[in-house]
Structure 1
């Protein structure tokens, strides 16, 4: 429980520093990276998003009444994307649920943490998630605050059988003309999602 409170405090501090990091991050991420999309499979997509996620003392509470995409991994993890909403500050916030559909408790893939040594030092996170704007040929990474902490859910290391964990991840917002992006999660098929 103490680790969870520490995570909440760090998440709140990260959000406060996000405004400062945004200027630097948008400049760094704004260049044209025409790297391939590395699609690992397929996913199912459905209706467009509705409401933005709400922040409740560091916990992200996604609007679970909407489903943009459902991705099933071979390891028993299911990722449901609920929203992909633009924020006024130039962010794109993606929210969803990670569910363990396997009949045993298991750890989430370490690859979800990302490969950067600085972000790996901050603990378990979803910093390895990326967005691909195929029309603009750009790849967007999870934003970092000034201390290098990713602006995403942290501390999700294990999920019990049948249990689920909500998550969020903030990216630089693609250009206004972009209405659809691919969410890439290491070890999982690619999810195509609509931006609201």
Structure 2
């Protein structure tokens, strides 16, 4: 073998080695890109899943609660009082929820009698402070609770009228009757007394 032949062989081998190295490097880079893409996709999916978990979920039973009707009492001028729930809360309260529906064909002005006759709550504007609960068996009457500023714990400052076909949602908090009490009567100016079941 001549010196020139060996020199040529070395050059050929070096070139082949260089080409192989570059090929492997390119393949490795391509693999990394593919891996990054997969990692990004997985990361994106994970992030989306976490974001979905953080979205506020609708309270279970909310739709059922709003569609539940404990009593419907027809009042003057085409206003119906619909009571949806009467639930005991922690702390010894009972919360009443419902709505006043205008079933007439015209706007009805809400009566001032709904606010009651107490001068101390007049500053709150329109309210449902005149609403009461009656436990006939225990012979007890419960008034709407007041906060430390003597404001009634009920819907206040509502519009002075209810448009035709519209509703005015309301709530009112009372002291909870005895645990053995399962029924109470709701009394409110302009409406007949309505007996309802109390949820535990």
Give the TM-score normalised by the residue count of structure 2. Answer: 0.66
Q: Distance in 1 between matches of 2:61 and 2:153?
A: 14
**Residue of 126, 151, 154 corresponding to 1:152:** 154
Tell me the residue number matched to 2:82: 80
Runs of 4+ in 1 over 6 A off after TM superposition: 51-54
Give the aligned partner of residue 37 of structure 2. Answer: none
Deviation at 1:155, TM superposition (A): 1.7
Deviations 1:92-127 (A, max 9, x none): 000001111111112111111011001112110000
Segments of 5+ residues of structure 2 without an aligned counterpart are: 1-58
Point out which structure has higher relative CO (alpha carbons under 8 A, 6+ apart). 1
CA distance in 1, matches of 2:117, 2:89: 27
* CA displacement at 1:74 relative to structure 2: 2.6
Q: Rg bigger for which structure? A: 2
| Other structure's SS at 2:154 match | coil
For 2:64 and 2:175, the matched residues in 1 are separated by: 19
Aligned mate of 2:182, from 179, 183, 186: 179
Provide closer, same or farther for how the CA distance between residues 62 and 133 of structure 1 changes in structure 2, counting only shifts above 3 A.
farther
Structure 1 unaligned spans of 5+: 1-50, 55-60
Structure number with the higher strand fraction is 1
Q: CA deviation at 1:151?
A: 0.3
* TM-score of the superposed pair, with normalisation by structure 1: 0.68
**2:166 pairs with one of 139, 163, 166:** 163
Report the aligned-residue RMSD.
2.0
Name whichever structure is richer in helix by fraction.
2
